[in-house]
Amino acid sequence: MSKLSYFNLPDVGEGLTEAEIVSWKVKLGDTVAINDVLVEIETAKSIVELPSPYAGMVAQLMVAEGDTVDVGTPIIAIGSEVSAPAAAPAAVSAAPAAPEDDVMKPLVGSGPKADAVKRRPRVGSPTAVVSPVTDVAPAAPAAKAPAQVPASSIPTQVKPAPKSNRVLAKPPVRKAAKDLGIDLNEVSATGLRGEVTKKDLLSYQDQRTAEQDGAGTFWAPATGSGLADDPRIERIKVKGVRKATAKAMVESAFSAPHVSIFVDVDASRTMEFVKRLKVSRDFEGIKVSPLLILAKAVIWAAARNPSVNATWTGDEIIIKHFMNLGIAAATPRGLMVPNIKDAQNLSLKELAIALNLLATTARAGKTQPADMQGGSLTVTNIGALGIDTGTPIINPGEVAIVAFGTIKLKPWVLDGEVIPRWITTLGGSFDHRVVDGDLSARFMADVAAILEEPALLLD
């Protein structure tokens, strides 16, 4: 008789208590080897693939797709011998209790193998620096399977960028995009070299078509009262990233006293600098935007005003002598804030590559939990949506966030004359327990100074 080994839902190193079963990658009767992907789960921060700690035949799938279960709940049983699969129980509660020796202890850092985020190795920084104040549950050792190293922590060499200043795509894809009237800049690329694939294009077209078709059918016939029992009311369960984001924003808004300030900036020289970078041989194949200069400006300004790169604990203020720069990213699963580890050590070119990789990974839904931990200061690029400015909410564990507004040609007084210039508005929110008005003003003025004259970065 086959001996069953039960795999419990692990804590994947985030300190979370539950996860949703998104999709099973195996079915009853399948034969699996150690480290074969069993299931894809969604936590409050990311989608993670769980590898098998056992080899054998899938005997039971104990949780249905779409169900949310607590960490430690048995989700699958694997037989040690290849035999006929056992009948799956009707509910989790009907599953037999797993012997103590066969219960799989939580795996830490388990994640997707094929889609892992690749980072280029950094001199003098073999491992990512993680803020000591990040609230992460202690890691538990794996009992049966060898410990797995998170893919995102393995230094890998970045592939040379292809020779192109445009969005990367093969000629047939470009032709199809032109025929469909699709701007390739709006399509999320998932190709190995960051190129837009035919699959990416078709997926975008399907989404666009669905949105257009749904626009005329959104309003339902007037058959209800408008009250809670009205059949025209749609209810969306709050879970995953949306649930975690809501909790974090409420905690931040009502625990940290926010103060916001704004500054208009003449970014004309930044626009000229970006234009030169786009045609530079050193930046061939690398997407360059004004966000790159803003990111460098924030890093530069934080070094001059260290208290904005800090954490408030109640008993002490922790100043971080490193910059894990968070970039707020809108994804199909909701708002995420992955961060670029040790951004202060990156050259302008390396920072551009890191920004592109971060955006591509986030849009593909492959951002890993480790990439969202240990942030020190955040930038949100609301200008990409055509918004002038806003009052962003500080990311929990940080004391400052900068909102980058859209850059527009506007009338501007220069040397006594009104001329058209590229103008943007920066909005900054600060935790007033740490950052006083004078400090926040000096920090924002320093950021603005770089956008007005990027050559100051050479000092």
- The H helix count followed by the E strand count for the chain is 7, 19
Angle at 263 between CA 259 and CA 269, to 5 degrees: 145
DSSP state of 416: T
| CA–CA separation, 343 and 299 (whole Å) | 8
Q: How far is CA 234 from CA 228, 230, 237, in A?
A: 10, 9, 10
321 is catalytic: no
Catalytic residue, chosen from 239, 242, 432, 442, is 432
Any residues with CB less than 8 A from the CB of 171 and at least 6 apart, and which? none
Please say whether the beta carbons of 165 and 277 come within 8 A. Answer: no
b/e map 17-29, b = 16+ CB within 10 Å: ebbbbbebebeee
> Of 50, 51, 58, 52, nearest to 4 (Cα)?
58
> Of 105, 108, 25, nearest to 72 (Cα)?
105
Burial label for 345, CB within 10 Å (0-12, 13-18, 19+), is middle
What residues act catalytically? Answer: 432
